[in-house]
């Protein structure tokens, strides 16, 4: 027996097809979990108040807990900051990703080489035994408390990693074997290359067998000054790379946001955040970690004011989108040739629709079969809509119900 939502989704497809869809996505047919919404928070253990938006995963990158921070000299460990972060993650019921990255200068294969961190940080370790000791120490200390680990960061960027692909595969293999020996349920995330340019590096990493030592494939879907819809090309091409290398594993975007233009237009920011999350899921990306809650040095699409606590409209949009999506099944998501998008959601027996236009404004005719009465905005508040519309839509998504 067909579900009502299935029939309505099919009708939606027919309606959109008549307009000539330019993009037709096939979202996963599973409820969207809270862990799909990931976040970066740099100073939560120091001064930043815990965000007041709903998310379920936290990547501990740029929180000063890389290998040089934890073991500044051989055998001299400092876990104070990471201990606080793991405790915070537990208290707020979010899943942390622990980064395994950068070589301390004392362990580096090229200790005087410049890097984004300390000298020698981008190089692989000189002695693999030092790496094994580091990984085993971390996994043992946080056994049962942290279950997700990610090797390195953006290895296609020289200031982050200057070693060979072979050395990166070896580091990943050693970490995978050690961590799974200690915690068989652990999740190892591949080194996350960045952007369209990074897909060639991901291809090389997988071609050399790196995929065997990962439970999840990570990538960073940065699109520079392009709109969120450009991220769909990265998702499509990343999945093609995985298929070409015979890798059938979840794809996570472990870091993305906007650092350009400067300043970022305030009227576009909420829509960019919301559309990013809607489109990642529609494209079959299982997690997305926004960068970042409390960054003001590099990020231009900011979530908080300079006090790093007061939410900006973009943060409100993050929370609204989380509320719209979590627990719902996305039945369909497509755009027409005018750049108007429609994504349908089912929650129990109720259906809702999210609509927006990539740029500018336009009139959207609401199908009478939707029986829609209200349109909710990203920043709060609902308006009554006439049966059948038309409804003015623009770059900021609206939820119709």
Three-class SS of 176-222: HHHHHHHCCCCEEECCCEECCCCHHHHHHHHHCCHHHHCCEEEEECC
Sign of the Cα torsion 240, 236, 156, 106 reads negative
- Distance spanning both ends of the chain, measured CA to CA: 25
Element (H, E) at 324: helix 313-325
How confident is the model at residue 10, as a pLDDT? 43
Nearest by Cα to 262 from 300, 231, 229: 300
Q: Are 401 and 374 in contact (CB under 8 A)?
A: yes
Nearest-angstrom CA–CA distance, 201 and 198:
5
Count CA atoms within 13 Å of residue 338 on its CB side. Answer: 18
The pLDDT of residue 21 is: 58
d(CA 234, CA 212): 22
Instruction: Name the fold adopted by 33-326.
Output: TIM Barrel (3.20.20)
The whole model's pTM is what? 0.94
Pair type for strands 329-336 and 21-25: antiparallel
Please give the chain's pLDDT, 401 residues, in tens: 344 444 444 444 444 444 445 899 999 999 999 999 999 999 999 999 999 999 999 999 999 999 999 999 999 999 999 999 999 999 999 999 999 999 999 999 999 999 998 999 999 999 999 999 999 999 999 999 999 999 999 999 999 999 999 999 999 999 999 999 999 999 999 999 999 999 999 999 999 999 999 999 999 999 999 999 999 999 999 999 999 999 999 999 999 999 999 999 999 999 999 999 999 999 999 999 999 999 999 999 999 999 999 999 999 999 999 999 999 999 999 999 999 999 999 999 999 999 999 999 999 999 989 999 999 999 999 999 987 778 999 999 999 99
Say how far apart CA 150 and CA 98 lie, in whole Å.
Answer: 6
Question: In the chain, what are the domain boundaries?
Answer: 4-24+331-400, 33-326
Q: What are phi and psi of 354, to 5 degrees?
A: -110, 130
pLDDT at 1: 39
Helix then strand then coil, in percent of the chain rounded to 5, is 30, 20, 45
Question: How many of the other CB atoms lie within 10 Å of CB of 114?
Answer: 14
């Amino acid at each position: 027996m067909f579900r009502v939502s299935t029939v309505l989704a099919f009708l939606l497809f027919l309606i959109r097809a008549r307009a000539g869809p330019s993009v037709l996505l096939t979202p996963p047919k599973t409820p969207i979990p809270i862990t799909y919404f990931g976040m970066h928070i740099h100073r939560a253990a120091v001064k930043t108040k815990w965000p007041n938006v709903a998310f379920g995963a936290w990547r501990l990158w740029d929180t000063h807990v890389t290998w040089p921070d934890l073991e500044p000299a051989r055998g001299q460990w400092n876990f104070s900051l990471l201990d606080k972060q793991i405790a915070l993650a537990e208290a707020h019921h979010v899943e942390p990703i622990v980064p395994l990255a950068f070589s301390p200068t004392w362990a580096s294969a090229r200790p005087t080489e410049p890097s984004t961190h300390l000298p020698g940080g981008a190089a692989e370790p000189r002695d693999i035994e030092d790496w094994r000791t580091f990984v085993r120490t971390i996994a043992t200390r946080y056994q049962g408390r942290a279950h997700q680990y990610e090797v390195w960061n953006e290895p296609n960027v020289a200031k982050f990693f200057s070693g060979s692909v072979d050395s990166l595969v070896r580091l990943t293999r050693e970490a995978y074997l050690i961590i799974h020996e200690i915690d068989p349920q652990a999740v190892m995330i591949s080194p996350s290359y960045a952007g369209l340019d990074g897909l060639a590096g991901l291809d090389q990493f997988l071609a050399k067998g790196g995929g065997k030592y990962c439970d999840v494939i990570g990538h960073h879907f940065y699109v520079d000054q392009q709109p969120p819809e450009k991220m769909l090309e990265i998702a499509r091409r990343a999945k093609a790379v995985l298929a070409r290398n015979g890798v059938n594993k979840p794809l996570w975007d472990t870091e993305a946001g906007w650092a350009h233009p400067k300043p970022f237009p305030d009227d576009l920011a909420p829509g960019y955040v919301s559309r990013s999350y809607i489109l990642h899921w529609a494209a079959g990306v299982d997690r997305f970690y926004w960068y970042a809650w409390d960054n003001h040095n590099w990020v231009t699409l900011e979530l908080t004011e300079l006090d790093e606590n007061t939410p900006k409209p973009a943060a409100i949009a993050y929370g609204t989108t989380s509320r719209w999506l979590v627990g719902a099944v996305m039945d369909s998501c497509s755009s027409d040739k005018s750049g108007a998008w429609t994504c349908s959601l089912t929650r129990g027996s109720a259906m809702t629709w999210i609509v927006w236009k990539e740029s500018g404004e336009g009139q959207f005719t609401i199908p009478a079969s939707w029986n829609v009465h209200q349109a909710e905005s990203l920043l709060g508040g609902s308006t009554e809509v006439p049966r059948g519309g038309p409804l003015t839509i623009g770059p900021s998504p609206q939820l119709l119900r």
